[in-house]
Amino acid sequence: MAQQVIGQQSIQLQTPVSILSGASIVGKKEGEGPLGDVFDMVGDDPMFGTNSWEEAESTLQKETAALAIAKAGLEKWQIRMIYAGDLLAQSVASSFGIADFQIPVYGLYGACSTMGEALSLGAMAVAGGYAEHVLSVTSSHFGSAEKEFRFPLSYGNQRPLSATWTVTGSGACVLGESGGNAQIVGLTTGKIVDYGLKDSQNMGACMAPAACDTIYQNFMDFNRMPEDYDRIVTGDLGEVGQRILWDLLMEKGYDIRKQHMDCGLEIYDGKTQDTHSGGSGCGCAASVFASYILPKVEKGEWKRVLFVPTGALLSKVSFNEGKSVPGIAHGVVLESIEKGAE
Partner 1 sequence: MPDIQTQKKQKEYEEYVKQVTPTHSLPLNMARAFLIGGLICMLGQWIMNMCQAYGLGRQISASWTSGILILLSVLLTGLNIYPKLAKFAGAGSLVPITGFANSVAASAIEFQKEGQVMGIGCKIFTIAGPVILFGIFSSWILGIIYWLLNVWGVL
Position 51 contacts partner 1 (CB under 8 A):
yes
Q: Name the residue among 183, 24, 110, 85 with its Cα closest to residue 330.
A: 110
Q: 111 and 87 in contact (C-beta within 8 Å)?
A: yes
DSSP assignment of 76-114: GGG--EEEEE-SSGGGHHHHHHHGGG---EEEE-BTBTH
CA 139 – CA 155 distance, rounded (Å) = 24
Q: 263 and 238 in contact (C-beta within 8 Å)?
A: no
CA 275 – CA 166 distance, rounded (Å) = 9
For 123, phi then psi, to 5°, come to -65, -40
Number of chain positions touching partner 1 (CB under 8 A): 26
| Residues numbered 157-176 forming contacts with partner 1, rule: CB under 8 A | 157-162
Measured from the CB atom, the residue of 102 and 158 that comes closer to partner 1 is 158
Position 205 contacts partner 1 (CB under 8 A):
yes
| Residues numbered 81-140 forming contacts with partner 1, rule: CB under 8 A | none
Position 56 contacts partner 1 (CB under 8 A):
no
Closest approach of Cβ 235 to partner 1, in Å? 19
Position 150 contacts partner 1 (CB under 8 A):
no
Position 153 contacts partner 1 (CB under 8 A):
yes
Position 154 contacts partner 1 (CB under 8 A):
yes
Position 196 contacts partner 1 (CB under 8 A):
yes
Q: Which of 66, 123, 134, 197 binds partner 1 (CB under 8 A)?
A: 197
DSSP 228: G
Cα 106 to chain centroid, rounded: 17
Closest approach of Cβ 241 to partner 1, in Å? 10
Q: Which of 152, 223, 317, 342 binds partner 1 (CB under 8 A)?
A: 152
CA 107 – CA 87 distance, rounded (Å) = 11
Closest approach of Cβ 219 to partner 1, in Å? 22
Measured from the CB atom, the residue of 52 and 272 that comes closer to partner 1 is 52
Position 156 contacts partner 1 (CB under 8 A):
yes
CA 210 – CA 155 distance, rounded (Å) = 32
Interface with partner 1 by CB under 8 A: which range of 99-107, 126-134, 197-205, 212-220?
197-205
Measured from the CB atom, the residue of 3 and 51 that comes closer to partner 1 is 51
Measured from the CB atom, the residue of 5 and 153 that comes closer to partner 1 is 153
Q: 60 and 141 in contact (C-beta within 8 Å)?
A: yes
Position 333 contacts partner 1 (CB under 8 A):
no
Interface with partner 1 by CB under 8 A: which range of 25-33, 81-89, 242-250, 282-290?
242-250
Q: Which of 244, 256, 263, 290 binds partner 1 (CB under 8 A)?
A: 244
- Torsion sign, CA atoms 22, 26, 30, 33: positive
Measured from the CB atom, the residue of 177 and 269 that comes closer to partner 1 is 269
- Torsion sign, CA atoms 31, 37, 38, 39: positive
Q: 31 and 39 in contact (C-beta within 8 Å)?
A: yes
Position 250 contacts partner 1 (CB under 8 A):
no
- Torsion sign, CA atoms 274, 279, 283, 289: positive
Give contact residues for partner 1 (rule: CB under 8 A): 51-52, 147, 151-162, 195-197, 199, 202, 205, 209, 240, 243-244, 247
